[in-house]
Amino acid sequence: MIKLFDYILSVNCYKQRLIMSILDVPFESVPVDFYPGREHKSEEFKKINPLGHIPVIDDDGFMLRDAHAILIYLASKYDPTGLWYPIGSPEFLGETAQWMLFAEGTTNTASAARLHVNLGYDFDIESCRSGAHQLFRVLEEHLWFREQEDLDWVCSSEHPTVADIAIFPDVILSEEGGISRLDYPAIRRWTDRVKRIPRFTVMPGIFPAGDAR
């Protein structure tokens, strides 16, 4: 069974819990005392990941770190449809990579602001916030135009990809960092759609959407 080195309030760990729930992949959550224990920075943990970060997975001996790398691995290995990480199509694959890199941006802005507020991390919160708004404006326009073409996800495929999973948690928890989503109606509709993906699961701070009509 896959072991996930996990922390309940980490968005990057949540991305793995989310994809594994959607793909119905059983896993064992190994809690890491991220806060206040700072266990991820301990000598013991650095044997698992020398960079001292979570998440890390151990799939029957195969170890992998870095949230987006893990998403790619899990989707490639456990998605029989091949749509979550669409290696079959160079265009979709390119888009997926592009938007996963966009998610690095939202992590460094929106999620950083959240960590600053929640756990006192030392980040320049104002620049995190304005950075997040700049990215959200781009995402808003992008998703609005997707809707104009009857498409529901960040990539132009008809099926969601790991790019949606990568961006979603940073966006949905943005208000914890003081970043309001009042100006982004298309993003808010997209978050409802993500929540309605079958076997979607929450993390603390997220409420499930009701059923679609």
Chain contacts with other proteins (rule: CB under 8 A): 7-9, 31-33, 35-37, 39, 117-120, 137, 141, 144-145, 147-149, 175-176, 178, 181-185, 188-189, 192, 204-207, 209-213
Q: Compute the least distance from the CB of residue 186 to other proteins, in Å.
A: 8
Nearer to other proteins, 38 or 77 (CB): 38
Choice between 65 and 195, CB closer to other proteins: 195
Positive or negative, the CA dihedral 110, 104, 34, 169 is positive
Using CB atoms within 10 A of its CB, is residue 129 exposed (0-12), middle (13-18) or buried (19+)? buried
**Is 65:56 a contact under the CB 8 Å cutoff?**
yes
CB of 117 to other proteins, least distance (A): 5
Q: How far is the CB of 157 from other proteins (least distance, A)?
A: 18
Answer positive or negative: Cα dihedral of 195, 70, 88, 102: positive
Bond prior to 55 in cis (omega within 30° of 0):
yes
Cα separation, 184 vs 166, in Å, equals 18
Task: Name the minimum Å distance from CB 139 to other proteins.
Answer: 13
- Residue closer to other proteins by CB (options 97, 203) is 203
